[in-house]
A = this chain, B = another copy of it.
Amino acid sequence: MISDDVAAKILDAVDAQFDDQLKATAELVTSPSLRAGEEPAQDLIESRLQDLGLEVDRWTIASDELEAHPGYGPSTVDYTKMTNVVGTYRPQKETGKSLILNGHIDVVPEGPEEQWARSPWDAEIRDGWMYGRGAGDMKAGLIGNLYAFEAVRRAGFDLTGRVHLQSVVEEECTGNGSLAALLRGYEANAVIISEPEEDALVRANVGVLWFTVRVYGNPTHPREMGNGFNAIDAAYQVMGALRELEEEWNQDKVNHRYFEDLEHPINFNFGGISGGDWPSSVPAWCELRVRVATYPGTPADQAWAQIVECVESAAGKSGFETRLTRDGFYAEGYVLEPGSDAEALLEETHRTAFAKELTSFTTPGYLDGRVFVNYGKMPTLVYGPVSENIHGFDERVSVESVRKCTKSMALFLASWCGVEPRS
């Protein structure tokens, strides 16, 4: 690690620019970068990367290579107008190690605004928290990457290793944004993704699959309800069958390293439902949008085969028809193998920034880390600030946690890539 003196200067630089960092975060939160609407927010990122003097690469993610990749999740939106942005720093003489700092620009829908205590897009700071959709997941981390990079320079140093600051799309639905960045050729000796992870390091995470089940009923007039088959009821039967599969997979946790001690590592979420055309017609159709999780090491194809079998068997027993469509994540989980240089360094920088030991944990949520670990074979540290209610109402991120994570990241950058006095 860098000397205490260099570290002190960098920590001071983070503090000195922290008000600016919060303003930049708030500005990004107020740009609602919902799926397929990320471009204005990517404009902001591109502009900031240019202000940092970086070489900027912005490209639309649509490609045949992407669609052919085993880690590709089937998309329901048009990729020909959706872009990733990467800012690259190249030292004059590259002597240090290289690093990718990754973050995603997309946010999940805010849901009914009436259930928020404030606008989801006001980025208000109150009692030490910044509020807003995406404040935690993960605009604070994404902007934090930029300010960690900038802090080293403001402290009077140039990095001696290559750095790629990535802002990707599609993390909340397919993971195809980071996959497109990998296919674009971006590689480094390590990756950090500054997701909201409670000031801790992710040791392992689940794979995630998305799909839609459409159930076909037999509609009739309610006066003949006995003859009809209510597709909403049938959808509930499908949910029941999938819950049994979920339970079965959870029972199997004892066979999966890092998952044994989690109470309920595998969550199936029924995230959307719609069905029926008319209150006085027995519904002819119902669609259920489902997110399931899998253990690392379970190929998506294997999980998918079990899901199809589960749904079709439930439908067969009750005599209704279903159609299953993959329409998002088709992603395997990953494990961050302990013992990497990158992890050892993060332990040090975390201790300096937080004055406590780094802990690691297993998360039952999807992470783009799987792209870099499974397909890029790069040590990937998913590590970031304390948040609450991500994907919920009144999402918020802890301001002091953001400050400390930025410090830890800045120290990591300087130590990993190496520094020399600014020329």
- Which A residues form the contact surface with B (CB < 8 A)? 108-109, 111-112, 115, 137, 172-173, 208, 210, 216, 218-223, 225-226, 228, 230, 232-233, 235-236, 239, 263-264, 267, 269-286, 289-291, 293, 328, 363-366, 389-393
Contact = CB atoms under 8 A, between A and B. Distances in A.
Nearest to A110: B277
Contacts of A328: 279
A111 B282 CA distance: 11
Contacts of A219: 111, 391-393
Contacts of A284: 111-112, 115, 392-393
A171 to B, nearest CB: 10
Nearest to A235: B273
A202 to B, nearest CB: 11
B108 A278 contact: yes
A15 B223 CA distance: 32
12 contacts: A111-B284, A112-B284, A210-B279, A223-B365, A272-B275, A272-B276, A272-B283, A273-B275, A273-B286, A274-B275, A279-B289, A279-B290
B281 A271 contact: yes
A281 B391 contact: yes
Contacts of A286: 273
Contacts of A279: 173, 210, 269, 271-272, 289-291, 328
Contact of A273 (B109, B274, B281, B390): B274
B392 A221 contact: yes
Contacts of A366: 280
Pairs of residues from A and B, 8 with the lowest C-beta to C-beta distance, nearest first? A223-B365, A272-B276, A271-B279, A221-B391, A109-B277, A222-B269, A281-B391, A279-B291
